[in-house]
């Protein structure tokens, strides 16, 4: 049983290497998109009611927080993307990235409930 784990252990290492490169490219794409979203909500939203103001500020805040995380992911992934052997940081990075993206999606869906009572966003996330 232990031998079986060691035979397939190299697959985990290869996945960590590949996922670190993917996180690097994901961050390169996500950072400009977050900036565009922040500017769109900041300059095109009308704050007619307190609910719309709260909604817009919540969306802007969630995108800004995700932008900060993506910048951090870019810096970390850039440092490790050309390695040939993974380390613990690379293993942790791939899980943290997935968790941050899911949590930010949930936060945006929850904030969106201020203006939309539809449950479709909950189902999508």
When pLDDT is averaged across residues 58-84 and rounded to a whole number, the result is 94
Domain ranges of the chain: 2-124
- Residue 122's pLDDT is 65
Q: Does the global pTM surpass 0.85?
A: no
Q: Is 85 helix (H, G, I), strand (E, B) or coil?
A: coil
Find out whether 121 and 101 touch, Cβ atoms under 8 Å. Answer: no
Q: What is the mean pLDDT of the chain?
A: 87
pLDDT digits (tens, 9 = 90+) for 76-118: 999 999 898 989 999 999 999 999 999 998 888 888 888 877 7
Closest CA to 100 of 75, 59, 51, 63: 63
Task: Write the CB contacts of 10 (distance below 8 Å, at least 6 apart in sequence).
Answer: none
């Amino acid at each position: 049983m232990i031998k079986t784990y060691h035979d397939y252990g190299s697959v985990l290492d290869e996945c960590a290497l590949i996922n670190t490169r993917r996180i690097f490219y994901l961050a390169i794409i996500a950072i400009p998109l977050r900036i565009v979203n922040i500017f769109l909500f900041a300059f095109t939203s009308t704050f007619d009611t307190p609910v719309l103001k709260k909604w817009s500020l919540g969306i802007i805040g969630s995108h800004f927080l995700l932008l900060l995380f993506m910048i951090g992911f870019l810096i970390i992934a850039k440092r490790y993307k050309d390695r040939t052997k993974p380390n613990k940081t690379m293993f942790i990075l791939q899980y943290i990235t997935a968790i941050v993206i899911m949590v930010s999606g949930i936060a945006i869906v929850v904030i969106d409930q201020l203006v939309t009572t539809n449950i479709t966003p909950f189902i999508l996330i």
